[in-house]
Amino acid sequence: MNAELEWKIKNLPDSPGCYLMKSAGEIIYVGKAKNLKNRVRQYFHASSAHTPKVRAMVERVDDFDIVLVDGELEALMLECNLIKKHHPHYNILLKDDKHYPYIRIDLSVPFPAIEIKREQLKDGARWFGPYIGAAAVREVLDTVRAVFPVRHCTRPLREDVRERPCLHYQTGECRAPCAQLIDREEYAAYIQAVIRFLSGQTDEVIAELDRRMRDASAKMNFERAAVFRDRINAVNDIMQHQKTLSVRGDDRDVIAFMPSMGDMLVQVMVSREGKLISSELHTLEGAAEESGSEVLIRFMTQYYSIANPPAREVAVSCEIEDADVLEELLSETAGRRVHVLVPQRGDKAALVRMAEKNLEDERLKLETRREKQLERTLGALNELAWELGLEKAPRRIEGYDISNTQGAQSVASEVVMINGECAHKQYRHYRIKTVQGANDFASMHEVITRRFTHGLKELEECRASGKNPLEGSFSDLPDLLLIDGGRVQLNMALKAMSEVGVSIPAFGLAERVDEIVLPNEEDSIFLDRHSPALHLIERLRDEAHRFAITNHRKLRHKHSIASRLEEIPGIGPARRKAVLTHFRTFEELDRASLIEIARCDGIGEKYASRIYSFLHPQERMDQ
C-alpha cells in the first residue's frame, strides 16, 4: 500500500457517499456506503474475511476517489449511475440487453400485415407480447396463419398495382390482397379474428383447429390430423404462459436468483392485469459469491429505468438490506409508489417458487450446454495433447493453408484457435512473394518464415518495452501448428521454423482420410470419427481452407478488373490501384457514373471519361 493511499484511508469522512476504487487510473469498482470511513477501511483490513473476488480487487487498488452525498438514497442513485457509466470490472454488471419479440398489426393501412418486432413503439399500431423467445412468437404466427388466411409478407401494397399471387395463395394460406382477390371488409374481419385470438380469446381458433383435425381423421389422413392436434396443444401452451396468476388482476414483477458456474442467474416474471406477459432470464457475470441482497439491489437498479419502470409491487426471493431506500429509488423511477416484498405464503409466494422452478430448469440446461462446450473445446484439447504427446493442452493453435489457381495469385491463410475457440480477429492473409508457379511446399516455407520472423522481432520489442506479448499482432506465439497437407508440407514448415530459430510442435493433416502426420514418425495417427479432438482439428482445417479460398477469390477478381483497366490508355498502375481501392467489385465499377469514377484519387474528369467510355462502348457509339 503506497503512502498516498494510507493517507486517504486515515482521512476518510464519517459521511454517506460513493467510493471509486482505481488501478493505474482505471475505475475497477464502485460502491456506496452509509459511512465511508467504516466501509472503505474494511477493504484494506481483515482480508481473510473477504471473498476471493474482493481480495483480487483489493490487490489491484492503488488509489480511490470518494463522492459525498446527503443520504442513502442519493448514494444509491449515484452508485447506479456511476456503474452504468464506467462498467467497472469488479462490479456486478447486467450484461443482457435483450429485446423480446412482439407482434405488431398496423390497422391504419388497408390490408395490415402481421409483423414481428423486437422493440415496442408508440406508433398507433396494435401490439401483442412480449413473448418468451422467438420460437414462441413464430408458433403463434404459424397457428394464426393456419386458421386465418392473412398476409405472410410485410411489403407495402399499392392499390393501383395488381400483383401476381404467390405460393401462399395457391396453398390457401393467403387470400392475396396483393392481387386484389379480397376486399377490405372481408380482410378486416380476418384481422379482427386474429386480434381476438392474440388478446386471449382462443375458443374460436381451437374450435376451428378441432374441426379440421376431426375432418382429417375421418378421411384417414392421420398425419394431417396430427398437425392440427399439435397446433391445438401449441395454442394451449401459449395461453398457459399468459394464464391468470392473481384473482385480483394486479400488476406485479417477480424476481428470483440462483448461482450457476460462477455467475448469478436472475429470473424476472412480469404480470400485468393478472396475466404473465413475459419471463426473462438475465445473467450477472461473476456474481455467484455476492449476497442475495447485493444481487437484487444491483440487478434492479440496472434493470429498471424510466423507459422500463417497475410494477407497483415487486416480489423478491430474499430479504434486502435497506429495502426502504431501494423502494424510494424505484418509486422515483416509476413516478408512483413501488413496494418491494418477500412473500412467505399464498399466491405471491407461489409466484416466487414458480420463478425459482424456471431458474432451476434453466440452470440445468445451461450447465449441460457448458459441459458439452467444454468437451468440444478444453476436452478436445486435452485429448489432442495426449494423442500428440504434448506436455499440456495447447492454448493457441494456428492452422495454415495455401490457395492458388494454377500457380496464379497464390495466397496463404493463418487461422487461430485460442482455448479451442476460433479467434476470428487474429486471422491473417499472406500474399506469396518469393515463389513462382504452383509450389505449395515452397509457399508454406515462405509463410512460416515470415510469420515467425515478425513474431520474434515483436516479442523482443514487447519485452524491451514491458508490454504484454499476448496483446501484440505477432508476438503471441502458438503452442501448436496445424499444417494442411501431408509430410512434405509439414517438413517445409519445420525447416522454416528451424531456420528462424523457433521450436514449436506441429503436425500435418492429410485431407483425404484425415490422417495426422507427425514429425519424425513413419506411422500416422487416425483418430476415431467421433473423437472431439478430431472434430476440433477438422474445424480448424476447414477454417483455414475457407479463409484462404475467400481471399484468393477476391484477389483473382481484382486481378481480372486490373487486367481490363490495363487496356485503357493513360491508366497506369497508380490509377488502377486507386480505382480498385475505391470500387470493391467490377460490378460496382460498372454501375458507377462518370462523376463517381472521377472521385477516385488521382483520376479526375479526363481519365474518368476514358474509363467510363471503355466500360460503356454502346453509349459512346450512340452519341
For 568-621, the pLDDT digits (tens) are: 777 777 887 777 777 766 667 777 888 888 888 878 888 888 888 877 765 543
Mean per-residue pLDDT for 515-519?
Answer: 86
Core vs surface per residue 478-505: b (16+ CB within 10 A) or e? bbbbbbbbbbebbbbbbebbeebebebb
The CATH number of domain 397-554 is 3.30.420.340: yes
CA distance 100 to 119: 7
pLDDT at 219 over 70: yes
CA distance 483 to 544: 10
pLDDT at 294 over 70: yes
Instruction: Give the model's pLDDT for residue 221.
Output: 87
pTM, rounded to two decimals: 0.49
Every domain of the chain with CATH number 3.40.1440.10 lies at 3-86
Every domain of the chain with CATH number 1.10.150.20 lies at 566-622
* Range picked from 148-162, 249-263, 311-325, 404-418 for highest mean pLDDT: 311-325
Which class would CATH give 3-86? alpha beta
pLDDT at 392 over 50: yes
Mean per-residue pLDDT for 543-556?
Answer: 73
Give pLDDT tens digits for 236-281: 765 555 443 443 557 889 999 999 888 889 988 887 766 666 667 8
In the chain, the largest separation of any two C-alpha atoms, in whole Å, equals: 90
Residue located via cell numbers 450457476: 260
Domain 252-365 sits in CATH at: 3.30.420
β pairing state of 63-68 and 26-33: unpaired
Instruction: Give the model's pLDDT for residue 580.
Output: 73
pLDDT at 552 over 60: no
Domain 566-622 sits in CATH at: 1.10.150.20
CB 404 within 8 A of CB 411: yes
CA distance 250 to 351: 13
CB 493 within 8 A of CB 451: no
